[in-house]
Amino acid sequence: MEHFNAASAQELEKALLSCLYSLRWARRVADHRPYPDVDSLLAAADEAAYDLTWPDLTEALAAEPLPALPPDAYAAAHTALSAAHAAYEARFGHVFVICLNGLSPSETLDRLLEAIRSRLANDPEEERTVVADELRRLAKERLVDALRGAENCASNH
């Protein structure tokens, strides 16, 4: 937390944007420093994510990579996932996002395909709500990972 609270505005914005590419979210989280502990930071990040508008979320979606398959997935899985992504993007106009934290690599493919197929049945407003929740979860997980990384770097010096 010390590194997070003491980081320059530019350094912190870059780190936060790697968690969720929304300038509004990154600036809001950064502007509320210092945070006494990780739980306070995560609560503030969550609150800032809940307040994002659809244009803010669209900005974040534009920078999101597609969820990746495990490296040992077979060719047919890549084809099925590519087709599902294309159908999703054609329906909703943006990439499919999902937080897969906690899943084993062997569960990833099934969960991805199941989620895309299920969410294709959503109406656009319902899907916006799901997307906002998934982006919020992704941001929180990435923020925790970034803090762990900063902690490891600090302890190695």
In a domain, 142, yes or no: no
Average pLDDT over residues 104-129: 92
In a domain, 2, yes or no: no
In a domain, 42, yes or no: no
Average pLDDT over residues 29-48: 96
In a domain, 117, yes or no: yes
Domains: count for the chain: 1
Whole-angstrom distance between the N-terminal and C-terminal Cα of the chain? 16
In a domain, 119, yes or no: yes
- Does 71 have pLDDT greater than 80? no
In a domain, 47, yes or no: no
- Does 151 have pLDDT greater than 70? no
Write down the pTM of the prediction. 0.89
Written as six digits, the tokens of 120 are 């294709």
Q: Which amino acid is at 23?
A: L
The pLDDT tens digits for 99-114 are 998 888 778 888 999 9
pLDDT classification of 25: cutoffs 50, 70, 90:
very high
In a domain, 21, yes or no: no
* Owning domain of residue 120: 65-134
In a domain, 95, yes or no: yes
Least confident of 16-20, 137-141, 144-148: 144-148
| 65-81: burial string, b at 16+ Cβ within 10 Å, e else | eebebeeebeeebeebb
